[in-house]
Structures are given as structure tokens and as C-alpha cells.
Structure 1
Amino acid sequence: MRKLLYLTFSMALLAIITSYAMWTAQRPMGHYLSDLRITLAVDQGVPSDRGNLLGIQPELFPTDYQSPERLHRKLAAYLQHAREQGLLNEKTIVVLPEHIGTWLMLSGEKDELYQAATLEEAMNWLAVSNPLSFVSAVISAKGDNRLDDAHLRMKAKDMASQYQALFGGLAKAFGVTLVAGSIVLPEPSVNDGTLRVGRGPLYNTSLVFGRDGVPLGQPQRQLYPDPERQGYIQPGTERALQVVDTPAGRLGVLIGNDSWYPGNYRTLNDQGAQLIAVPAFVRGRSGWDKPWRGYQGSSTPGDVGLKPGELSEGQAWHRLTLTSQPPLSQASAGVSVFLRGQFWDRGSAGQSFLSSHGRHFGDSEARGARLLNLWL
């Protein structure tokens, strides 16, 4: 009798494990509709042979990331519209927002993840659907928040490959220099022209692709991550800011809050930066209008007199982003681009703007994808 019960239990357990394994292997692709429209919100300056800075503020949702092909289709539609407007040439620098690559962690998942009500529920589906990868990532996780680390780490190798193929492919297809926003990866580096990941801490990084689709320089790591993410994203202080040569001039990249620190502009000045790209992100649908919370997690630079709550978040971004504001920044122009859209219960804010000769030019419209162009 005992042997029969043991046999029955073993068979039931095997059936459950087999069913679970078959379920995790299923990745049906649901029906997909996406708004490919984009509006030219700002077109500043006069066309010239010096090129232009083109910021693309996309409006993205989880289903846009169900496959790299879907995201490619949407971004290519934006770039095609820019081409039809006469905004693309061999000296164009296209800038995309912070974390546009990070959400590649959603690629190839089950429908239940995209249909979740909250981000927390979606991350639970991510873990349950990839049990072996998730457990391995938890074991390898660094920092204080091991679960968030594991969610980003578990598919890092695939994310890096998709990031390079997607954004390098867009740069080559449209013949532009492309600042590919940012992506969170463990110890990313470029070796023999290929973006690779390591086993160390996670870094929020940006990569610039040339007109041939090949990376320019090494990934730029964010120096001052968002305080709410410092439990799993490390500051990239061991790698200094770098400047890369582009057809339009020497380009520096400051990710998000890095654009608030005057010392970073001095570092870029020393390397002869002529143009600055700021991929950025502000969480919360009303985050742009809320009181600015200060530097949080790091001391306020001595030459910054702004205090928390003194201005709104949006006003602080305009005040602290010093691109083309001499003497602290000797760059002639810059662009700050924000990610827009809705990821489950987490919205985003931020209104992209251009910088030229100490002035900012932006668009106050909150909804819809936007193009912001500055002729150099």
C-alpha cells in the first residue's frame, strides 16, 4: 500500500513538473496594435552642413517590448517620419531616452506578463516563467535589493545582444549616429565591436552607435544613479566620462541625474566636448510638476544654490542641465530626452528640451511621441 501511494505521488509530481515545464516553454505572440505616429514638436535653427541634434521622445508600453521586432518597427517608423521631414543626414545625431534598452528584459515573455495589473505582478510572472534563470540570477545578485537585481540580470546576455542588434541596426539603416538611451547590464563592455556582459554589479549604461552600426567607444556608465535604484544599480565612478568623435563634432553623454553636476561638464570641457546628449527619465505621471526632491543620496555640489522644494522637478531639470551655458559648459548645443509611456501602474513624465547658446527650447505637450530637432 505504501509503495502504491509513493508511486502515485511520484507520478503526480512528475506530471506537475512536466506541465509546468511545458507551460514555461510556451511563448504565444498576442495581437498587437501600436500607435506609430510622432509629431515634430520643435524645429530650431536653420538647416546647414554642420548637421543636427534630433531627440526622439517615444511613447512606449510593455507590448512594444514583446519582441525586438516590434520595438524596431515603432522606432523605425519614428525615424522614417524624421527622414520624410528632411531631418536625417550623414551628420545627424539621434538621441533616445534613458532606460529604453532596460525594458528589453520583457522580450519574449508570456501574455500573462503583459496583461498584469501592476509592475510587481509582472515581475512575478517574469520569475515564474523563467525559474532556472531567475534562481541562478538571485544567487549571482549583488547589492541590497537582490530581487530587482535578479530580474535585470537573468536575461542580461540576451538583452545586450538585442540592444546592439536593434539600435546598431537602426543607426546603420538610417545612416545616423545614434545615442541608444540607456540599458542596465552587469559590467558591460565592448570587445571586438561587440557589447558583452560580465558577472559583477549592474550599471545603467549608454552606448553610441556610428553610422555603420558599430559602437563608438566603451559604454558610458551613469555616475549618479537614481537613489531609489541604488540598492541594485551601482555608480559607475571607476570609469570616467568619455567623449566620442562624430561627424557633427565631439559628443559627450550624461545619463539622467549626471546632467545635474557642474563637475561633469568641466570633465567634458577638458575633453573638448562640443555636443552633449542627456538620456533621461522621470517616474510618475505627475512627476514633472511635483516639487524637486534635491540630490538625494549624494551631497549638493558647492556651486549649486538650489534647495529641495524650491522649484518643480521640471524647473529644476532646466536650471541644472547646464549644456551650452558657459563657462561651466563649453558645448555649443545639447538635447535632453525623456522616456514617456505607461508600464503597468508606473507612468512616466518629463518634457524633452533642446539647449543652444544658453537657452532651452522645449514642448509642453504631455502626451504622444515627439521629435525635437536642433540645427547646428
Structure 2
Amino acid sequence: MRKLLYITLALVLIAAITRYGAWTQDRPEAHYLSDLRIELAVDQGVPAGHGNLLAIQPELFPTDYQSSKRLHRKLAAYLQEARDRGLVSAKTIVVLPEHIGTWLMVSGEKNELYQATTLKEAMNWLAVSNPLPFFKALAGAKGDSRVDDAYLRMKAKEMAKDYQTLFGGLAKEFQVTLVAGSIILPEPSVSQGNLQVGRGALYNSAVVFGSDGQPIGQPQLQIYPRASESGYIHGDAREAVQVFDTPAGRLGVLIGSDSWYPDNYRKLDEQQAQLVAVPAFIMGKGRWEQPWPSDNGAALGAAASKPGATSEGEAWHRLTLTSRPALSQARGGASVFLRGQFWNLGTSGQSFVSSAGQTFADDGSRGARLLNLWL
């Protein structure tokens, strides 16, 4: 009798595991009507044959990441609108926002994840739907926030492949140089034209793609992650600030908070950077108008201001030194923010372009925006 009971329990357990395994593999793609519209918010200067910086501030939601093809459709629609307006040429540098690639970690998941009401619930679905990759990633996680590390590490190879296919493909399709925002990956590098991942710490990194769809140089790693991300994103002040040769000029990329530090502009000046792209991201609705957080005091100290005495938006404008004589020799720059709603977390940030010591900004209205600076 006891033997029969054990056999029955074993069969039930096997059936349950088999059913759970089948459930994790069942991932039908839900229908979704995406808003492909985008407005031209800033068109500064006149065409002079020197090219342009084109910042694309998208409005994205979790369902846009259900597949890389869906995200491609939306971003390609934005670029097609820019092309129709005469803003795309062989000398165009397109700049996308920070973490636009990071959210690829939720691509190809079950509908329950996209229908979640909170980010925490969505991440729980991510782990439950990928039990073996999650626990493997958790075992190799680094830093203080091991669970956050595991979420990002578990699909790193697929994320890197999708990132290069998507953004390299867009660069080639529209024949532009494309600063592909950023993506968090473990020890990213480019080898034989392919974006690779390692097993070490996570880095917030940006890849610049040429009009042939191939990466230019190595990924630019973020040097100074924000305090809220330091538990799982690694930064190192010894990391190099690169300059990329493009048809429009020598380009430097400062990811998010790296654009606050004057020393980074000095390093770009030493390499004769002419243009600066700043992919940026601010999580939280209304943060742009709220006081600058005190944990960023080190950067603000360099700008002779005090935390809490200025708003987040004012601080971004003050600390972005592009095209300000004596502080930055670059003749133009673009800072572009990711907008949209990611479960219960909103986003903030008003993109802007800089030229001749002046700043030209989006007005903060809802919807996707184009900001163009003729060089």
C-alpha cells in the first residue's frame, strides 16, 4: 500500500512538473495597437551639408517589447517620419535614450508579464516563467542587489543578439549612424563585429552602429551609475571615454549621469570630440520638476549648486556642458530621455539639444518627439 502511494505521488509530481514546463513554453503573442505617431518638437538651425543630430524621444510600454519585431516596427515608423521630413541623410546621427535596450529582457515572455500591474509583479512572472535560467543567473549574481542582477543576467545572450539585430538593422535600413541608447549586459564587448557578453559584472553600455549595420569600436560603458542603480550596475572611473568617427564628425557618448561630470568633457576635448550624445532615463512620473536628489551632491558640487536647491530638470541643463566654451569644445549635443509607462512606474525627462551655448528643449507634452539639430 505504501509503495502504491509513493508511486502515485511520484506520478502526480511528474505530471505537475511536465505541465509546468509546458506552461513556461507556451507564449502566444497578444494583439496590440501601438501608437506610431511622432511630432517634431525642435528643429534648430538650417541644413548646411554638415549633417545633423537627430534625437528620438520614444513613448514606449511593456507590450512594445513583446517581440523585437514589434519594437522595430515602432522605431522604424519614427525614423520614416523623420525621413519624410527631410531629416535623414548619410550624415545623420540618430540618438536613442538610455535603457531602450535594457527592457529587451522582457521580450518573448508570457502575456501575464505584460498584463501585470506593478514592476515587482512583472519581475515575479519573469522568474517563474524562466525557472532554470533565473536560478542559474542568481547563483552567479554579483553586487548588493543579487535578484536585480539575476533578472538582467538571465537573458543576457538573447538581449545582446536582439539589440544588435534591432538597432544595427535600423542603422543599415535608414543609412544613418545610430547611438543605440543603452543596454545593461555582463562585461559587454565587440568581437569580430558581434556584440558579446561575459560572466563578470553588469555594465550599462551603449553601442554606436554605422550605416552598414556594424558596431563602431567597442561599447561605451557608463562610468558613474546613479546611486539607485549602484547595487547591481558596475561603474569604474578608470573606464575610457571613447570618441567615434562618424560622417558628421567625431562623436562622444556620455550615458545618463556620466554627462554631469566636467572631467568627462575634458577627456572628450582631449580627443577632439565635436559632438556629444547623451542617452538618458529618469524613472518616476513628475521627477523632472522635483528637487534634485541629495545623493547626487558630488556632481552638483562641481556645478556650484546644492542638492534640493534646484529641480531635476534644471540640474540636467546646468550639468550638461556640451558646446559651452571653456567647459566643452563640442559644437553640438543631444540629450534624449526614454518616455512611457512601465507597469506602475512612470518616466520623466524632457529631451534637449545644445548648440553655441544654448539649449533647445521639448515642452514635456505626451507622445513621442523628434528633436533635430543641424550642424
Q: TM-score if structure 1 supplies the norm length?
A: 0.98
Give distance in 2, aligned partners of 1:83 and 1:304.
38
Q: 2: distance between equivalents of 1:362 and 1:121?
A: 35
Counterpart of 1:52? 52
Q: Which residue of 1 aligns with 2:108?
A: 108
Residue 166 of structure 1 aligns with which residue? 166
Give a deviation string over 1:213-247, Cα, whole Å, max 9, x none. Answer: 11011000001111111100000434210001000
Q: Which residue of 2 aligns with 1:237?
A: 237
**Secondary structure of the corresponding residue to residue 272 of structure 1:** coil
Aligned to 2:144: 144
Correspondence 1:22 to 2:19: no
Structure 2 match to 1:63:
63
State the AA in 2 paired with 1:330: Q
304-313 or 181-190, which deviates more: 304-313
Shift of the alpha carbon at 1:294? 4.1
Closer/same/farther in 2, CA of residues 17 and 225 from structure 1, 3 Å limit: same
Paired with 1:238 and 1:135, the residues of 2 have a C-alpha distance of 32
CA distance 1:52–1:147, change in 2 (3 Å)? same
Matched residue SS, 1:299: helix
Q: Kindly indicate whether the alpha-carbon contact (under 8 Å) linking 2:91 and 2:177 is maintained by their aligned counterparts in 1.
A: yes
The corresponding residue for 2:35 is 35
Tell me the distance in 2 between the aligned counterparts of 1:164 and 1:294.
Answer: 36
Query: Offset of 1:283 from its aligned partner?
Result: 1.2
Q: Which residue of 1 aligns with 2:340?
A: 341
> How far apart, in 2, do the equivalents of 1:236 and 1:160 lie?
22
Other-structure match for 1:257: 257
Are 2:27 and 2:108, in contact at CA under 8 Å, matched by a contact in 1?
A: yes
Q: How many residues matched?
A: 375
Contact in 2 for aligned 1:351/1:363 (Cα 8 Å): yes
Q: Distance in 2 between matches of 1:346 and 1:176?
A: 32
SS of the residue 2:36 aligns to: coil
Query: 1:355 — aligned with what?
Result: 354
Q: Are the counterparts in 1 of residues 143 and 231 from structure 2 also a CA contact under 8 Å?
A: yes
- Separation (CA, whole Å) in 1 of partners of 2:112 and 2:299: 43
How far residue 23 of structure 1 moved from its aligned partner, in angstroms, is: 0.2
Distance 2:344 2:128 in 1: 20
Query: For structure 1, which segment, 301-310 or 183-192, has the greater mean C-alpha deviation from structure 2 after superposition?
Result: 301-310
Paired letter, 2:373: L
What SS does the corresponding residue of 1:41 show, helix, strand or coil? strand
Structure 2 residue runs without a partner (length 5+): none
Question: What residue number does 1:86 align with?
Answer: 86
User: What is the distance in 1 between the residues matched to 2:40 and 2:197?
Assistant: 36
Is the contact between residue 206 and residue 220 of structure 1 (CA under 8 Å) also seen in structure 2? yes
Question: Aligned with 2:151: secondary structure?
Answer: helix
Question: Once the two structures are superposed, what CA deviation does each residue of 1:126-161 show, in whole Å capped at 9, x if it has no partner?
Answer: 000000000100001000111000000000000000
Whether the aligned pair in 2 keeps the contact of 1:262 and 1:301 (CA below 8 Å) is no
Shift of 1:300: 4.0
> Structure 1 residue 32: deviation in Å?
1.2
Q: Shift in Å at residue 299 of structure 1?
A: 3.1
SS at match of 1:135: helix
Q: Give how far 1:302 is off.
A: 5.8
SS at structure 2 position matched to 1:40: strand
Question: In the alignment, residue 312 of structure 1 is paired with which amino acid?
Answer: S
Q: Tell me the amino acid that sits aligned with residue 317 of structure 1.
A: W
After superposition, the Cα gap between the structure-2 partners of 1:285 and 1:302, relative to the gap in structure 1 and judged at 3 Å, is closer
Q: Distance in 1 between matches of 2:303 and 2:46?
A: 34
Q: Does the alignment pair 1:273 with 2:248?
A: no
Q: Say yes or no: does 1:310 pair with 2:309.
A: yes
Once residues 91 and 279 of structure 1 are traced to their aligned partners in structure 2, the CA distance between those partners, rounded to angstroms, is 19
The superposition leaves residues 154-209 of structure 1 with CA deviations (integer Å, 9 ceiling, x where unpaired) of 00000000000000000000000000000000000000110000000000000100
CA–CA distance in structure 1, aligned partners of residues 196 and 108 of structure 2: 20
Distance in 1 between residues matched to 2:151 and 2:302, nearest whole Å: 38
Which AA in structure 1 matches 2:336?
A: V
Name the SS of the counterpart of 2:104 in structure 1. helix
Q: Is the 8 A contact 2:300 2:307 kept in 1?
A: no
Mapped contact 1:93–1:248 kept (Cα < 8 A): yes
Tell me how far apart the structure 2 counterparts of residues 11 and 282 of structure 1 sit (CA, whole Å): 50
Shift of the alpha carbon at 1:364?
A: 1.2
Alignment partner of 2:288: what SS? coil
What are the within-5 Å matches in structure 2 for residues 157-196 of structure 1? 157-196=157-196
Contact preservation (8 Å) 2:50, 2:248: yes
Counterpart AA for 1:349: S
CA distance in 1, matches of 2:301, 2:369: 35
CA contact (8 A) 1:203 1:236 kept: no
2 CA distance for matches of 1:317 and 1:25?
44
What letter matches 1:372 in structure 2? L
Structure 2: distance between partners of 1:40 and 1:295: 35
Contact 1:288 1:349 in 2 (8 A): yes
Do residues 366 (structure 1) and 365 (structure 2) align?
yes
Deviations 1:66-100 (A, max 9, x none): 00000000000000000000000010000000000
Amino acid at match of 2:119: L
Q: What secondary structure is seen at the aligned counterpart in 2 of 1:71?
A: helix
Structure 1 residues 275-300: Cα deviation after superposition (integer angstroms, max 9, x where no partner): 0000001111101010011453x734
1: CA distance between counterparts of 2:283 and 2:339?
9
